[in-house]
Structure 1
């Protein structure tokens, strides 16, 4: 750990040093959580990030790795959490502009391939964050909106990469730190509804779409103890119900009736085989 941090803190502006820093940060970002010590590395990682923001000395991969260290270890830190969500949203927005998602896979340029790799790493880190985060952040809407936008850009020609984005939306629906209204405002609900119509039950993307609505349904069925919050829940539930009804969601799910057992044969245990679990009633 001390050796890797010492290398990562190098500030010389040459290609060899830049590569060493990148490798050191990449290694640090892959160390298991329980092996890390907050006092040992937190101030150093923050220094690396701050220096880059002032001098732009890191590659995108190195910068992402530095943030991944913080995201994976401090997703419950109230002070750092706001900054992490803001930075992730900003980086995804910038990276999205660097790649031509409309071109075919065989036409990919080496620089774009590197950018894609960094985007995938951001998304894997965000999947982890959305799975375990316990702190609500008002910037969740912007972050999820960026995830939705990139997915829309890449879904036609980059099906494999798009799985990571849909899985992240699925984790967001499951995460109590993300408000249900955030999923509605950000366009996540509309996007998943739209995509479901183009997939089949045998499509791995569909499993994540179903998981998204399964978790959404579960959360909207949970009554609030606070009277004002309970009224908000009912109103939000009504809005989403009307949207689903307008899009023919219930008929679509019913068309799968009797085939959900196929998911268990494929070991998709996170999904329910009870069809009513996917529905909302007002």
Structure 2
């Protein structure tokens, strides 16, 4: 907060121009959103109070409108304070930034402008119930254009999807567009696979160069948006099974040196086990069950990883109980249960029961979940 206050004072004393202050703060916001850290210092600053009025005044200007300044103001405000915003500002900022992101030139400068605009849009509060007319056609066109021409950076493309998935949280009617028109699962799987190839997984994160650090950051952002989607989706198709396979591959790649990515992947698999629209058969075919069992045997296992793994199996177990899975054929239910049990026995399931029984109560207290104290209940009874 002190640094923002110092900038307020510098502007007041004319040691820095308002335009340069906006540019500087915009890049602060860029790093804030990309690195997922929270700071409320801007919210209480003089600039935060002045900026909405500046945006509205510049937008209403008929003559000598400074388009570049208006975009900078919109991006700066969206990157730093897109949580509480008036409807009037929303109707200015969203179309303005979509216009910047819609430019089709494939030069580096245009790509950077689109990246900044889309990252700012991706920071919009998930709970904003925006009218589809404000963004859907333009964002759909932006995503389709990239699918055909690959005219955006990886971060820009991910940010476009994040904005759209955030809107899905309050508007379930977007699912058809997201799944069947824009093919989110296929695109997310491809991006994870391509990003995985460009990361040296054997090197620890702190030893990576600037470019690789940014790509790792984009992977983390993809995993967050995949989680949000898996928590809410009601449709299912083969493309989603392919996405789970990509997550499984990333679990194995990130296991040694990228604990945050590993946790994100396991959390995504936990979401699939909870979502009753995901077939348990798909979790077997995609390798999700094998990946979680493999993880439970690692010497690097920590509390959060263990909680994700156990909750994954707890939710599958609940769904395979006859009274809770009425639509499943009884023969199929027993077959799936036996197959999962056999996999667990192959991986030393009896040892898991012995090793983890005493930790369940601790994990319950720490993560407020409902893991059974009698872990041997999981899948033992066919």
One fold, TM greater than 0.5?
Answer: yes
Give the match for residue 195 of structure 2: 95
Which one of the candidate residues 242, 248, 252 is aligned to 1:142? 242
Q: Which has the larger radius of gyration?
A: 2
Deviations 1:188-210 (A, max 9, x none): 11111111012588532111111
Equivalent in 178, 197, 207 of residue 80 of structure 1 = 178
Matched, 1:269 2:368: yes
Contact 1:257–1:275, Cα closer than 8 Å, also in 2: yes
Please, which runs of 5 or more residues in structure 1 have no aligned partner? none
TM-superposition CA deviations, 1:204-258 (whole Å, max 9, x none): 21111111111111111144444x7332222111111222223232441233334
SS at match of 1:92: helix
Question: What is the alpha-carbon root mean square deviation over aligned residues?
Answer: 2.1
Change (3 A) 1:137 1:116: same
1:106-185 mapped onto 2 (5 Å cutoff): 106-185=206-285
Residues 105, 157 of structure 1: 8 Å contact kept = yes
Deviations 1:129-155 (A, max 9, x none): 111111122222211111011110111
Per the alignment, residue 63 of structure 1 pairs with: 157
Shift of 1:277: 7.3
State the alpha-carbon separation in 2 of the partners of residues 107 and 134 from structure 1.
Answer: 41
Residue aligning to 2:102: 9
Q: Name the SS of the counterpart of 2:356 in structure 1.
A: coil
**d(CA) in 1 for partners of 2:253, 2:335:** 32
Give the TM-score of the pair, scaled to structure 2. 0.68
Instruction: For residue 136 of structure 1, give the secondary structure of its aligned residue in structure 2.
Output: coil
Aligned length: 280
| Counterpart-to-counterpart distance in 2, 1:14 and 1:198 | 46
Whose RCO is larger (CA < 8 A, sep 6+)? 1
Unaligned 5+ residue runs, structure 2? Answer: 1-93
